[in-house]
Structure 1
Amino acid sequence: MSQENQVYQVGEFVRGGGFRDTYECASDPTKLLKFDRYETGKRKVKTRGPLKNLFRAVRAKLGYKKQRLSGNQDELLGWQHIQEVGLEEHRSFAKVYGMVETDRGPALLTEKIENFWHPETRSVRDYISRHGRVDDNELVRALIDYFGILRRHHVSCFADRPENMGIVLDEQGNKYIKSFDVKPYLNNQFMPVHKIDYLSKKRIRRRLDRHLDILSGENSGGGHRI
């Protein structure tokens, strides 16, 4: 049965985020199912008052995306960018297969990461919460390599958040970073300069350079930590 016609069975709950809930895919143990908590246009929006609402409406006309799409629509948009820059098959990004039908409604089908370094320390945020800092030389090197990939390909999205950076092992037992969320960031600009390729890439480089400067500085100082 093709993916388009198959109805996937939902398995055990895995985790919940700000936008979505993630479940095991009972039909395919190598996949996960992500369900939107808010439908498009129905997500709760803060009350800002008539003046701010008018300002945001004008800004939207100038190219600013007033309101985030659903989490799954956002990730599909982010994955499209990953494909466009040639990273679709890169080991550092969990694959996104598209929207599917399940026995509980529509969901986003994604790759399930199973080669985590530690069962209770799956992400960089988990590591920092447990240890207070990153003092593992191999992990620091993995982070530098990972942010180098993001910078070279001008990738700026939820993939650079510690909670979305999985600490995984390759076949030789070496650590590397694998992202499991590529939703794009909103472009909080009055004018739509993010649509100008040069300026967009320049902003992304600045953002990621801050991460690389911290990591590279600590790495050259001997006592590796973040």
Structure 2
Amino acid sequence: MTVSGQEQIYQVGDFLRGGGFRDTYECASDPTKLLKFDRYGAGTRKIKSRGPVKDLFRKLRAKLGYKKQRLTGNQDELLGWQHIQEVGLAGHHAFTRVHGMVETNLGPALMIEKINNFAYSEIRSVRDYIKQHGRIQDAELIRALVEYFKILRAHHVSCFADRPENMGIVVDTHGKTYIKCFDVKTYLDHQFLPINKIEYFRKRRIQRRLDRHFSILSGENAAEGARI
């Protein structure tokens, strides 16, 4: 968007929340949007320690040709959004729309759609629900989760969309509950054996991961009765 031939400078509003790599703010220039700011620049993201054994394994794996991803959180999400677009899900209500990088009075930020139609006043995500209620046993929420994971599985979506903190619990205009993803940052590809690069095996890994996450969230009994 331009103003008098120049790129528009968006004004940053109130701080909303902070994640592992980014901070999210209101967009004062457009109340229907949010702005995500990287906390670390490219190549400076902190690498979490997984313990001495796993850290040693990762170092050895790196020597065999595996490289750690050194992108920023916003660059990661743009890559994830590119995949969402490629599989035809950019306009689907299950994904928060990403509008791309913009300039703000506080520097570059990723602009995304702002979500307001939450199902509960205090609960925003599946993680919030679990913290308050424990194991998910609500039939309507389980139904929404089943439909959501069907979408992820059908299109082999492998990103932060399958994390409970990124699953918003929202309602449509008819009051029906559905899940809406907040974050589509891509996962690192930890596979380095040639066979794991074959598309068939890659998709099978994604399906197993999604099935496992769904079972954990909904409970084995619910997952058995509503197999995705």
TM-score relative to the length of structure 1:
0.87
Report whether the alignment pairs 1:219 with 2:222: yes
Q: Which residue of 2 aligns with 1:119?
A: 121
1:18 corresponds to 2:23: no
Q: CA RMSD in A?
A: 2.7
Which segments of 5 or more consecutive residues in structure 1 lack a partner in the other structure? none
Q: What letter is aligned with 1:43?
A: R
Q: Counterpart of 2:131?
A: 129
The residue that corresponds to 1:158 in the other structure is 160
Distance 1:192 1:99 in 2: 35
Select the residue among 38, 41, 44 that pairs with 1:42.
Answer: 44
Corresponding letter in the other structure for 1:76: L
The separation in 1 between residues aligned to 2:48 and 2:221, in whole angstroms, is 40
1:58 aligns with 2:60: no
CA separation in 1, counterparts of 2:48 and 2:166? Answer: 25
Who is 2:99 aligned against? Answer: 97
- Identity, in percent, stands at 66
- The count of aligned residue pairs is 220
1:68/1:74 contact within 8 Å kept: no
Answer yes or no: is the 8 Å Cα contact 2:21–2:39 preserved in 1: yes
Q: Which runs of 5+ in 2 are unaligned?
A: none
Alpha carbons of structure 1 residues 187 and 121: separation in structure 2 relative to 1, 3 Å? same
Q: Deviations over 1:106-144 (max 9, x none)?
A: 000001111011121000000000001212110000001
Contact preservation (8 Å) 1:146, 1:177: yes
Check conservation: 1:11, 1:26, Cα contact below 8 A: yes
Asked whether the 8 Å contact 2:214–2:223 carries over to 1, the reply is: no
Greater displacement, 65-74 / 116-125 = 65-74
The alpha carbon displacement at 1:87 in A equals 0.3
DSSP 3-state at the match of 2:60: helix
Kindly indicate whether the alpha-carbon contact (under 8 Å) linking 1:115 and 1:169 is maintained by their aligned counterparts in 2. Answer: yes
Instruction: Verify: 1:2 aligned to 2:7, yes or no.
Output: no
Q: In the alignment, which residue of structure 2 is the partner of 1:199?
A: 201
